[in-house]
Structure 1
Amino acid sequence: MLKFQRPPMTINHDRYDPAYLSEILQETRTIALVGASPNPARPSFGVMRFLLSKGYRVIPVNPGQAGKEILGQTVYATLGDIPEPVDMVDVFRASEYLHAVVDEAIALEPRPKSIWSQLSVRDDLAAKTAEAAGVKVVMDRCPAIEMPRLGL
């Protein structure tokens, strides 16, 4: 008997429906923040602090900081080192690294529900790879900007 398979979702990454962004942000509880920095002047630090203040569990990922703490949270070297499932992977790495992060994220069991790349971080091929694996993607956006805009 043939099993029906849902075709991979195709999202226009130039413009996101507010309902799509809201759904991702509301279904997310645990976020792996790739490229987390202990430097308060870095955007990743400010976004991590914002997400923590909104009640999310945020797990920093940075191989150079592994075993240390950022904002009281233990830092892991890779996504695979995180000892619990994550709902979202928030990426603070340059666009050329996004595909490697996507590959690492979709290898997780269970897979995250979404991958969110920060402002100016975009790789359409990486997005297609994630979406083909059933993972929602948002690129070139910041949850710390989108949440207030969406009233979340």
Structure 2
Amino acid sequence: MAFENPPRERIKTILEQTKTIAVVGLSDKPDRTSYMVSEAMQQKGYRIVPVNPNVESVLGEKSYASLADIDEPVDIVNVFRRSEDTVSVAEDTLRMKHKPSVFWLQLGIYNEEAAALVQAAGIEAIMDRCIKVEDSILRPKQ
């Protein structure tokens, strides 16, 4: 069966219930998409937890080398990595101390194997969607 993203109403509910987003591949360079999207989400009130072994902090938040290093609960793991790299990110997600509710692959990123891994563990998957765009459409005044 081919993968399908949850319906828009479900995505809206996910975003309304989300407080903390771990962002895998968050760059500390302001001209990068990962930075711009995360900054916009932070300005909308979401807490951003950077996951990038090459930086100490991003957007005023401590950066973690891997998802497994995060001690606090996160609601969404948002991924800015190539599609072919997302299976290992899904595996890292499953090793987290606190399992997130959602595994979200950004616009242009799609990997059915990664989605199947997290879904088998009860984590919802969203692929090939920009979290900032979805939030702007579904929650315009938040």
Relative to the length of structure 2, the TM-score reads: 0.92
What do residues 63-92 of structure 1 show as CA deviations (whole Å, max 9, x unaligned)? Answer: 111xx2211111111011112111110000
> Which of 70, 91, 94 in structure 1 is aligned with 2:79?
91
Residues 1:64 and 2:54 are matched in the alignment: yes
Pick one of 121, 126, 146 that aligns with 2:134: 146
Q: 2:88 matched to which residue of 1? A: 100
Q: Report the counterpart of residue 6 of structure 1 in structure 2.
A: none
Aligned residue number for residue 17 of structure 1: 7
Structure 1 alignment gaps of length 5 or more: 1-9
Distance 1:76 1:126 in 2: 21
AA paired with 1:79? Answer: L
Shift of 1:109: 2.6
Tell me the distance in 2 between the aligned counterparts of 1:151 and 1:85.
Answer: 23
Structure 2 CA distance for partners of 1:11 and 1:72, relative to 1, 3 Å: farther
Output the aligned Cα RMSD: 1.5
AA at the equivalent of 1:31: I
Following the alignment from structure 1 to structure 2, what is the Cα–Cα distance between the partners of residues 48 and 12?
26
Pick aligned residue for 1:45 from 17, 35, 44:
35
Matches within 5 A, 1:23-42: 23-42=13-32
**C-alpha deviation, 1:12, in angstroms:** 4.0
Q: Per-residue CA shift, 1:36-59, capped at 9, x if unaligned?
A: 001111000001101111111100
SS of 1:63's equivalent in the other structure is: coil
Gap runs ≥5 in structure 2: none
The alpha carbon displacement at 1:110 in A equals 2.2
- Alignment match, 1:123: 111
Task: Determine which structure has more spread, i.e. the larger CA radius of gyration.
Answer: 1
Point out 4+ residue stretches in structure 1 off by more than 6 angstroms: none
Scaled by the length of structure 1, the TM-score of the pair is: 0.86
Letter of the structure 2 residue corresponding to residue 55 of structure 1: G
Deviation at 1:151, TM superposition (A): 3.1
Seq. identity, %: 39
